[in-house]
Chains A and B, each alone.
Chain A
Amino acid sequence: MNRMKKECVAMLLAGGQGTRLGVLTNDVAKPAVPFGAKYRIIDFPLSNCVNSGIDTIGVLTQYRPFELHQYIGNGQPWDLDRLNGGIYVLPPFMRAKSGEWYKGTANAIYQNIDFIDRYDPEYVVLLSGDHIYKMDYADMLKLHKKQHADCTIAVLDVPIEEASRFGIMNLNEKGEIYEFEEKPKQPKSTKASMGIYIFTWEKLRKYLIEDEADKTSENDFGKNIIPKMLSDNQKMIAYQFDGYWKDVGTISSLWEANMDILHGNSGLNLGDDKWKIYCRNTAEPPHYVSDSATITESLATEGAMIYGTVKNSVLFGSVTIGKGAYVEGAIIMPNAVIEEGADVRYSIVGWNAVVGKNAKVGETQPPSKAGEWKISVIAPNYKVKAGEVVPADKMIGG
């Protein structure tokens, strides 16, 4: 008997560079990017795992992994420092005869077959580290088991006009997937893949080995594994999800998702005690709001010092908003300083960045078309000089 046996192991793909986040991911992998005043993007899938009762998680890292490795540490903030199981960071490694980078998402899992086999699981949950959502994977697994599926893919309905931006699942009346179309020009359905998969491990294992042997394959789940399983008539079903979900792979979607927390009707509720989002704590005292400050419709957290005006913004830990500064529609990441008299609107200010005295950053006019914000981004550690003007839609530093 394998005493390490687990019914279900989660594998979290966290190796992507996230080029569309520009200067924010120059030095860190996308899952390590700060989100929602006190979290990192990766806190969401990790907390979902723990809340779903999954206690064995492999995190596949490759691009700029140090920040992420340090952040995860021994997994204690997520209760993942376990005697058996817990969280493991899995960067690519050398073998006796060879060693190579992760070539694609499927290859990353292929290279860690030994890791998964140690736990002899029945099922593997495949997650990615760039989505913001709260979801009970246990409920999805229940459906997978009930239907005796080989693969279950979480889907959510998107507006038909946006469907061509997603991987679309075409379903039959039994909820089985008969076709998968990546970014179809003429979408036949509105069921978009959320990038969350449950596989029966025995099946997946076989497909990974076959895929690796196929020299023409790009070793990618979306491009190779899923289409191959479909063409082999494996039982693939959709798990319908109706809650909040957002891919935060772009500057505008990252900005929007942060703003979604501010608006109670977005469906993104961080205050549910039964489904907490855990994060590594920074041990700072509560934040301080001074006599000269005004703060409305915003989020703030520990260590922040607020002397200026803040509206509709998300302030991360230990930020300073100077006297007379004006901050609106902005995301101010950890330890950033907005100096006296500076004006920051519709922007993302990276961690440790400084916006000098009386500098102006970002759009001052509301967008001509609703929802089309032109977000400016100040790179982490960058200093905007006193009085400097950074126009809308500009990415600076890095």
Chain B
Amino acid sequence: MNNNTLGVIFASDNESHLNDLTLHRTTASLPFAGRYRLIDFVLSNFVNANITTIGIVAKNNYNSLMDHIRMGRDWNLNRKNSGIVVFPPFVLNSSHDIYKGAIEALYSLRNFLVNSKEEYVVISNSNIAFNIDFDDVEAFHLEKGADITVLTHRTEEINPRKYVVSVDKNDRITDLRYPIASDPEEQLADLNIYYIKKDLLLSLIDNAYAHGAYDFEKEIIQKELDNLYIMSYEVKSYVAVIDRIPVYFKHSMELLDPNIRNELFYSNSTILTKVKDSKPTKYMEGAVVKNSMIADGCEIDGTVENSILFRSVKVQKGAVVKNSIIMENGIIMENAKINYVISDKNVIVQSGRELSGFESYPIVIVKGKVV
């Protein structure tokens, strides 16, 4: 059945601090879980709920994103009707700078929104790994008679620059604000996913844009809390918001827990990604592998413990990889030892080198570097 909702995904997140990992890419195309990129989760959840008109707003460094999405074929989004559109950065008439915030971006997507047949819009960030049913979100929105439904989750991982919400007993949002020092550890955090009727969105965006506003949360959600019926839909299943390097590391390692893996990959939507036709992974004589998640195309002749290997990683004889994340095409040469390392794509750690970070401070090796 067709869904009456279209999706808008923001490929970049201003409040993310992934530093070296997003030097060359958007948050959306950050590799995660051995063979995916972060945007795969939101996209797959959309596709699963038959949300097939999807606009992706890219801001910068979007080459890797375009290469990943191509025509959307791997998500079955290469369709005659609807399908996927990537909106590269644009310059608005009124200024000579690319857009500053979500309001300006959405305003420039006006034609895309107006011309699509869907009546509802779901706006989403792309830095979230989860597996939810957007049909449930729609049902909640309609049942509650909400004007805007805000997806939230309970967490102790509070990003000081992201909003937390307070709700009343009916899940109506009574406050949306930055966290402060005296807050309790666990908070209900805004996931930056909004479900809203298209006409309402357009009028809110027009009005905000006309008044020079650009921050969607501050200048639309916060401002309209009293006027509109803005509800919180709490996601209770597994949610990983990836906005800082230690958090990326922590959520990656959580995937070694079978329960979390099941929840993320087998609970609802099939998580789809770009297919690369790598050969199967080969374990050699010297392979000693424990508690690790390993993608296709790897060749392992050394020790791998508590780690995640992306596609086509080579771990040579005598090499020891512990508590680490090795992205695509990484080569850990003979007798090299790494511990608490995140190595980006195409990294080579040469023979005999030793590198060690710590759980709270994993060392990041930038894409393409040779150690």
Contacts and interface: CB of A to CB of B under 8 A. Distances in A.
B294 A270 contact: no
Given A271-B279, A281-B275, A298-B283, A289 B261 contact: no
Interface stretch (A60-68, A119-127, A272-280): A272-280
B277 A279 contact: yes
A7 interface: no
Interface residues of A, number: 36
Contacts of B279: 38, 270-271, 277
Interface in B222-276: 256, 258, 261, 264-265, 270-273, 275
Given A276-B277, A283-B271, A289 B282 contact: no
Interface string A25-60: 000000000001110000000000000000000000
Contacts of B290: 289-291, 293
Interface in B277-293: 277, 279-293
A261 to B, nearest CB: 8
Interface in A232-272: 261-262, 270-271
A286 B293 contact: yes
A302 interface: yes
Contacts of A299: 280-283
Given A283-B272, A285-B34, A286-B35, A295 B277 contact: no
A296 B301 CA distance: 8
A302 B277 contact: no
Contacts of A300: 280-281, 283, 294
A77 B274 CA distance: 11
B34 A283 contact: no
Contacts of B289: 289, 293, 295
A76 interface: yes
A268 to B, nearest CB: 11
B296 A296 contact: no
A310 B287 CA distance: 11
B328 to A, nearest CB: 12
Nearest to B301: A296
A288 interface: yes
B42 to A, nearest CB: 16
B294 A289 contact: yes
B111 to A, nearest CB: 29
A335 to B, nearest CB: 13
Contact of B291 (A77, A281, A285, A289): A289
Interface string B174-211: 00000000000000000000000000000000000000
A296 B287 contact: yes
B73 interface: yes
Contacts of A296: 283-287
Contacts of B282: 262, 298-299
A290 B305 CA distance: 9
B296 A36 contact: no
B77 interface: no
Nearest to B273: A283
B332 interface: no
A297 interface: yes
Contact of A302 (B73, B272, B295): B295
Nearest to A295: B283
B280 A301 contact: yes
Contacts of B288: 294
A279 B290 CA distance: 29
A270 B280 contact: yes
B297 interface: yes
B315 to A, nearest CB: 12
B324 to A, nearest CB: 15
Nearest to A269: B279
A287 interface: yes
Given A276-B277, A285-B261, A302 B283 contact: no
B296 A297 contact: no
A76 B71 CA distance: 13
30 contacts: A37-B280, A261-B280, A270-B279, A277-B277, A277-B279, A278-B277, A283-B270, A283-B271, A283-B272, A285-B33, A285-B35, A286-B295, A286-B308, A286-B309, A287-B294, A289-B290, A289-B292, A289-B304, A291-B291, A293-B290, A295-B289, A296-B285, A297-B284, A297-B285, A298-B282, A300-B281, A300-B283, A301-B281, A302-B296, A305-B258
Interface of A: 36-38, 76-77, 261-262, 270-271, 276-279, 281, 283-291, 293-302, 305, 310, 314
Chain A to chain B: the 4 pairs with minimum beta-carbon distance, closest first: A37-B280, A286-B34, A270-B279, A286-B295
Given A38-B280, A298-B283, 20 more contacts: A77-B275, A276-B277, A278-B277, A285-B265, A286-B33, A286-B35, A286-B294, A288-B256, A288-B293, A290-B290, A295-B287, A296-B283, A297-B285, A299-B281, A300-B281, A300-B283, A301-B280, A301-B296, A302-B35, A302-B295
